[in-house]
């Protein structure tokens, strides 16, 4: 697989719903003021290092990875926990995509969730090449919308800026941000063919993450006083902004969709990769999705962070 395709796949996996809404950026970086920018740089370097370790590793799934470093009972538990998390995350993204689809198309939310599930299933059963190709197609439009959104929102009067906070939370945030993003990223990236030069896509991914994180964070810094407690800060700032708001909704939908496909494909690959397993996992995720996006995310993000740290430890030589 070409370096550019691997980079696009890594980035589309990492640019999920939390990033697209701006909530993750506020929570882990913006609220710490100028130190948040340092945190973005640190997290980008950590992502580069982790992607490099994954691509350089001799393993092709989470089961092999955990068994290489953990006792058999612990490896079995970690493997099954990772699988459950991926299915639950898949369901959460289906629920979120249904809500966004409903806003854009004006259709019933349940119908939109079903449409999203069918689209995801179609990509997943086609295989890794389809997941990679889709990422390559979506990444550039997503990056362009990030720049347009930042430019459109950064020209207003500055609100109350965040304080420059340097404490334990400031130092820990880049590592926490990495850990709970890594379970989805690692589960997908580890399935890719091992290239001869993993350093190139790793560096490209880290650099792009830093650029996009910084660009989307600028309006959040400028309008921090208005959006610091809003669950969807970027959407709140774009409310009533016409075509730019519509472009952002499409970007948010693409970010959710790529995360759904990444988690769904990783779960299916984990259990054998057959079309039947893809159908079963998608149906299971579809049933879980009716819990609602917020309820699902509230219950799984803590587990995600723990599992992410465990996988990182398994990757360290």
Tens-digit pLDDT profile for residues 35-78: 999 999 999 999 999 999 888 888 888 888 888 888 888 888 88
**How would you class 175 by CB atoms within 10 Å of its CB: exposed for 0-12, middle for 13-18, buried for 19 or more?**
middle
Confidence check: pLDDT of 293 > 70? no
Rounded mean pLDDT, 109-128: 88
pLDDT at 314 (0 to 100): 83
pLDDT at 112 (0 to 100): 87
**How would you class 237 by CB atoms within 10 Å of its CB: exposed for 0-12, middle for 13-18, buried for 19 or more?**
buried
CATH 1.10.4160.10 fits 3-315, yes or no: yes
Confidence check: pLDDT of 2 > 70? no
Record the pTM. 0.86
Distances (CA, A) of 63 to 80, 126, 160: 9, 23, 48
For residue 130, name the pLDDT band (cuts at 50, 70, 90).
confident
Longest dimension (CA), the chain: 58
Q: What is the pLDDT of residues 148-195, one digit of tens each?
A: 999 988 765 555 556 788 888 899 899 888 887 877 788 888 887 766
Domain map of the chain by residue range? Answer: 3-315
The whole-angstrom separation of Cα 62 and Cα 66 is 6
Q: Which two tokens stand for residue 265?
A: 């494909």
For residue 121, name the pLDDT band (cuts at 50, 70, 90).
very high
The answer to whether 162 and 98 have CB atoms below 8 angstroms apart is no
Q: What is the pLDDT of residues 233-291, one digit of tens each?
A: 898 888 888 888 889 988 988 888 888 898 899 899 888 888 899 999 999 998 888 77
pLDDT at 105 (0 to 100): 78
Q: Which residues contact 89 (CB under 8 A, 6 or more apart)?
A: 184, 259, 263, 296, 300, 304
């Amino acid at each position: 697989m070409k370096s550019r395709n691997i980079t696009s796949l890594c980035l589309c996996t990492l640019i999920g719903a939390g990033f697209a809404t701006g909530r993750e950026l506020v929570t882990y970086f913006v609220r710490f003021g100028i130190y948040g920018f340092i945190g973005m740089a640190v997290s980008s370097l950590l992502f580069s290092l982790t992607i490099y370790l994954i691509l350089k590793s001799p393993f092709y799934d989470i089961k092999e990875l955990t068994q290489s470093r953990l006792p058999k009972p612990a490896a079995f538990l970690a493997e099954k926990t990772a699988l459950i998390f991926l299915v639950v995350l898949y369901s959460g993204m289906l629920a979120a995509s249904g809500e966004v689809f409903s806003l854009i198309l004006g259709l019933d939310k349940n119908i939109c969730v079903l449409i999203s599930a069918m689209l995801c299933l179609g990509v997943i059963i086609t295989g890794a090449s389809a997941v990679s190709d889709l990422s390559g197609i979506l990444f550039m439009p997503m990056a362009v919308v990030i720049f347009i959104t930042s430019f459109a929102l950064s020209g207003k009067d500055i609100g109350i800026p965040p304080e420059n906070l340097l404490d334990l939370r400031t130092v820990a945030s880049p590592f926490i941000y990495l850990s709970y993003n890594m379970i989805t990223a690692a589960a997908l990236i580890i399935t890719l063919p091992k290239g001869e030069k993993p350093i190139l896509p790793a560096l490209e991914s880290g650099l792009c993450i830093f650029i996009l994180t910084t660009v989307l964070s600028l309006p959040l810094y400028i309008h921090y006083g208005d959006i610091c407690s809003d669950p969807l800060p970027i959407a709140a700032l774009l409310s009533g902004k016409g075509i730019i708001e519509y472009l952002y909704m499409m970007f948010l939908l693409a970010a959710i969709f790529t995360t759904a496909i990444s988690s769904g494909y990783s779960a299916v690959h984990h259990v054998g990769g057959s079309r039947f397993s893809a159908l079963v996992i998608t149906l299971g995720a579809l049933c879980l999705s009716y819990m609602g996006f917020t309820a699902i995310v509230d219950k799984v993000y803590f587990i995600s962070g723990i599992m992410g740290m465990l996988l990182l430890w398994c990757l360290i030589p």
